[in-house]
Chain A
Amino acid sequence: AQKITQTQPGMFVQEKEAVTLDCTYDTSDPSYGLFWYKQPSSGEMIFLIYQGSYDQQNATEGRYSLNFQKARKSANLVISASQLGDSAMYFCAMREANNFNKFYFGSGTKLNVKP
């Protein structure tokens, strides 16, 4: 089974609007971490936000927030007030405590921000 599933290959959003990128995960480990990365066309993976499985509150970092629904095993990324520079690939990733040297990535979502 896929550890991380991103079902939106591509998304469009109007500049200044909010957008949600979906991510579901699969693990039986009670302790795990969820990450979102941005990959511009240059190739570098840029860390955006982290959510621990035991964190009580949803993580936020500036315009990024993570909508963590543990029972549904989802960790959606919300980008508020989209900017043209947000156009990129976005990857959801997970690491399990019992296998902490491995990072599992989803297949990514290509976000296009329209002016």
Chain B
Amino acid sequence: ETGVTQSPTHLIKTRGQQVTLRCSSQSGHNTVSWYQQALGQGPQFIFQYYREEENGRGNFPPRFSGLQFPNYSSELNVNALELDDSALYLCASSLRLAGGPGDIQYFGAGTRLSVL
């Protein structure tokens, strides 16, 4: 167990709706990253939060947004859901030390979102 928890585990929404996914980081971790994993593919980086500020973003439109709270937990919000948003959404936490490439990310079990 990594200590990273995500909720809910499964979610069904319809096109056009909005959704909020939640992530609780591993104790002591100050950085949270979110990933989208479509069926049969590797995870794609959405964005990262470090000390409550967005700290990098992948190729995702602005309708994907997030928050990080003072306790380092995080939310991913997706507006105007599209069918292609159906995927497993993974949250990963890490402790940023020197900000180098070696910080290990620990993942939660994900939220499986289905958009109908």
Contacts and interface: CB of A to CB of B under 8 A. Distances in A.
Interface stretch (B17-25, B41-49, B61-69, B71-79): B41-49
24 contacts: A32-B101, A43-B88, A44-B107, A44-B108, A44-B109, A45-B107, A46-B2, A47-B2, A47-B104, A47-B105, A47-B106, A47-B107, A52-B102, A91-B43, A95-B101, A97-B100, A97-B101, A101-B48, A101-B50, A101-B55, A102-B48, A102-B58, A105-B42, A107-B42
**A interface, how many residues as a size bin?**
20 to 34
Interface in B30-64: 33, 35, 41-45, 48, 50, 55-56, 58
**B interface, how many residues as a size bin?**
20 to 34
Interface in A15-46: 31-33, 35, 37, 42-46
Ranked 3 nearest A-B pairs via Cβ: A101-B56, A33-B101, A105-B42
A35 B104 contact: yes
A42 B42 contact: no
